[in-house]
Structure 1
Amino acid sequence: MKLTALIPMLSVSDLKRSIAFYRDRLGFHVINVFGEPEPKWCMIGRDNIKLMLNEPPREEMDTLPLHAKNFQVYYFYPDDVAALHAAWKDDDLAVTDLRVTAYGMKEFELRDPDGYWLWFGQESSEPPTVHE
């Protein structure tokens, strides 16, 4: 099982403002946007770099402590997410259940010893098993 990419995901307080900043000031372009009627997630890129930006629900942001507002996810793209999940689960690593999301990813997550979220996902055409 090979890891093919790593894309950080940053929580932002205003997705439209963040997209405008990265696009207009830093030269990124929008690759993908998810969420209706108001998008709450996007992937942006420039050259060989990609970032995901996520805007949590406002009520969650208002009640979170500062460290949680700066939520970071490191999203890895393995070539076989199901095999990686099974291997780490067999090795008693504390991984979440494998799920298929409404945004078309088969994924799972775990935390490193310092509490950083590490997510592992692969594009999937299977029907969603969770609706977020």
Structure 2
Amino acid sequence: MTTDRSQPRPMLVPELNITSLPASLAFWRDLLGFRILYDRPEEGFAAIEREGVEFMLEEYDTGPDERLGIWDTGPRERPYGRGINFEITVRDVGLLLEALSRGGWPLFFGPEERWYRVSPHEETGVHQFLVQDPDGYLLRFSQPLGRRPSRAASL
């Protein structure tokens, strides 16, 4: 599959090593609404996008690149990506929550409304939840709620 790239490529595109491209696409594409930008199914690879956020998914040891194994920084144990979560800003977390619920996919945390201090006098708010993909990568979907005066500043 090839898609016209009318937008410039993001400056950061995480590439996630996965165990099964079909299982990952059932989650990322079918449940979360990411679209395939281009893929190489014979190599277990797909580049995906949703609302300007891109990821690359690649099965371990299925491509012709013998260097893949030397990029491992430790043992391959689930959940993958321990110690990182990817915050993905979306217009409406409610749509994703509904899709995950219909698909019987469990949430890792939330949903919640959370306010974060960004300066001594201001907070920014999000409606967010966390979910793990089939390989255990932790995804934090976040819908902006705007800004408000910091509660700490008023104390």
Tell me the TM-score normalized by structure 1. Answer: 0.41
Tell me which structure has the larger Cα radius of gyration: 2
Which structure's residues are more often helix, by fraction? 1
Tell me the TM-score normalized by structure 2. Answer: 0.35
Larger RCO, structure (CA 8 Å, separation 6 or more): 1
